[in-house]
Amino acid sequence: MLASSRILLVDDTPENLDVLSAILEDLECQLIVATNGERAIELAQKQSPDLILLDVMMPGMNGFEVCNLLKANSATAEIPIIFVTARTDDISIGFSVGGNDYISKPINADEVRARVRHQLERRLLLNELQTLNKELEQKVRERTADLTIVNRQLREEINERRYMQDRLSYLATHDFVTRLHNRNSLEAYVCGLLARVQTASIKASFLLIDIDRFRVINESCGCIAGDELLRQFSDSIAGLLSRDDFFARIGSDKFAIVTHKSNVDNSSELAELILQHIKNFKFVWEEREFRLVASIALVPLNREIVSFDQVMLMADEVLFLAKREGRGLIRTYNEATKRSSDDKENVNWAQRLVDANHNKHFRAHFQLIEDFIPDNTKPKKIRIETLIRMWDPIQERLIPPGEFIGPAERLHLIPELDKWMIEEVFHLLTQHKDLLTGIESVSMNLSALSLREPHFADHIIHLIDLYKIPPSLINFEITETEAITNLEVANEFMQRLHKLGCYFSLDDFGSGFASYAYLHKLAFDTLKIDGIFVRDMDREPNHYAMVKAIVEMAHSLEKEVVAEFVETAEVVELLKKLNVKWGQGFLYHKPEALSYEALLSHLKS
């Protein structure tokens, strides 16, 4: 049946298309090829393939944008899509835009065939179910008068239909490798359980298990061995659980268990039992024996937890601590919080960041960017950079970004902070339009995670239009390292907003590895020299040489230069001699709360 299936391969690299075609040759399917997103959409609409293998990174329209357009068209919305990517960060984004599965690069032939067969069989079941439904409806209309005669036949067809529906439901809620519940099924179960926790005295705990050496086996022996390991592992652990425990696979090497033990001690005993079992577990493949190591996070479920995302954030945070302290450990949320408090680190960043976002505890500050060589014949205008802070109501203090930006990035919450800052600034400027004539530029930092979000640029464009902000007023700062590491993504993002009229700065320049050739490819306007070289360039010859080289390169590219961490008059004089016009640091302005009154006072001074 698979031989009649049509598969659309989308990749801008002919060599990748050749590899995929050769791998899929055994399936005897009809292969259709597209080398860009526009052609892929055209072929999908004309030929209605049964499956699409879609590369993420392509020039012009990337894979996520192609997927969005296909899912928005009723003619192509039901076609399953498997993303082909080399980056783990793309996997969660792929699922969020409607992808059905993913294939990791470098491509493994057995993995490709297994995942393609799975999606084609699922597609085939859907088509058969639709056909059966249409036939059944027609027969019911035609044979109502003769119901007695055809009753037996109808019962058989209804049973077959129910079987198909049950099978599809199973595929939608279970992992096809281990036959365990999948992430979607786990989320539904946990949400229902949390709702009951709010109204009844239910005791339950969430265990997150991470196999530390799965990747070694998967890459050294192949994905077939990896799948067999996962099946043996899941069957083995399932034997330790009670009938009420909920067991799911939620990632390549991550498993979750929801257990209804009467208290945390009992849940800890189960975790210890599982960990000891994993230590004794042996996997044999082609006469090679492998041992596993795992880390386990235990989170008791209570009325303070109101969402599945909150549970996962807490478990991930505890798992991070367990791995940092060593492999093969169990850590509970309460224990991790206490241990972290003793270390003055506060492991509960997940809870604190979620609460801060919900309770509006973030604060916007700003710092002036000083013009070393002002033109006194023109009206005074100021440039500022916005800086985020977090208010801690318990300690009654402002938390600097150095403490919470790292956890926010690791927990993938940083795009929400970027969005918050953009809206906060736009709202202030809209409320006080008289500021627009006095402010020349507002710089705002954007993280790498925000750049990789498929619709982040669209979100910014929407806000600029909504608040009626002049795009030329906005300058987005992107770190040099992230811009070069994700060159295509960063450049596409920058080009879109650059055409709108926004400006871009490469922040912390000098600390990364940008080359002259790379800089030619990026649509940036300003280089901000990393303050580590600026603050003591009057005392460190090597740092002075570094600053001088960066300035000369920027001037050759006809780009503005801003020096960070300007703290002494001696440094200012050296920068002026290098023809650096702009500087930022405590010598001129210490960051203060962003407000209309504060900005107005600087405009009048």
Q: Which DSSP string do the residues of 58-71 spell out, in sequence order?
A: -SSS-HHHHHHHHH
Q: What is the mean pLDDT of the chain?
A: 84
One CATH from 3.40.640.10, 3.30.1540.10, 3.20.20.450, 2.60.40.420 for 351-371+380-604: 3.20.20.450
pLDDT category of residue 344 using cuts at 50, 70 and 90? very low
Mean pLDDT value of segment 124-150: 76
Residue 342 has pLDDT above 50, yes or no: no
Express each pLDDT in 224-281 by its tens digit: 877 888 888 888 888 888 888 999 988 778 899 999 876 667 888 888 898 888 888 8
Mean pLDDT value of segment 167-186: 81
Least trusted range by pLDDT, from 3-7, 75-79, 189-193, 545-549:
3-7
- How many residues belong to the chain? 605
Q: Fold identical between 183-347 and 351-371+380-604?
A: no
Which residues lie across from 247 on neighbouring strands? Answer: 257
Q: pTM score > 0.75 for this model?
A: no
Side chain identity, residue 290: F
Least trusted range by pLDDT, from 161-165, 452-456, 567-571:
161-165
Residue 88 in 3-state DSSP? coil
Sign of CA pseudo-dihedral 443, 448, 449, 450: positive
Residue 459 has pLDDT above 80, yes or no: yes
Express each pLDDT in 278-331 by its tens digit: 888 887 887 777 778 888 889 988 888 888 888 888 888 888 777 777 677 888
Express each pLDDT in 346-404 by its tens digit: 456 767 787 787 788 999 999 999 999 888 878 889 999 999 999 988 888 898 887 88
pLDDT category of residue 179 using cuts at 50, 70 and 90? confident
Q: Which helix (DSSP H) or strand (DSSP E) does residue 482 occupy?
A: helix 480-485
For 350-438, strand residue ranges (E) read 362-371, 382-392, 397-399
Contacts (Cβ under 8 Å, ≥6 apart) of 36: 10, 12, 58, 59, 60, 61
Per-residue H/E/C for 297-365: EEEEECCCCCCHHHHHHHHHHHHHHHHHHCCCCEEEHHHHHHHHHHCCCCCCHHHHHHHHHHCCCEEEE
Instruction: Kindly give the pairing relationship between strand 382-392 and strand 362-371.
Output: antiparallel
Provide the phi-psi class of 17: left if phi over 0, else alpha when psi is between -120 and 50, else beta.
Answer: alpha
Query: Tokens at residue 322, please?
Result: 């367990």
Ranges of H-type helices in 146-291: 147-173, 183-199, 214-221, 223-238, 264-280
pLDDT at 345: 47
The domain 2-124: what is its CATH number? 3.40.50.2300
Residue 341 has pLDDT above 60, yes or no: no
Residue 523 in 3-state DSSP? coil
Residue 593 in 3-state DSSP? strand
Residue 19 in 3-state DSSP? helix
pLDDT at 478: 87
Boundaries of every domain in the chain: 2-124, 183-347, 351-371+380-604
For 400-501, strand residue ranges (E) read 439-445, 474-479
Mean pLDDT value of segment 556-585: 93
- Separation CA 194–CA 258 (nearest Å): 11
One CATH from 3.40.50.2300, 3.30.70.270, 3.40.640.10, 3.30.420.40 for 183-347: 3.30.70.270
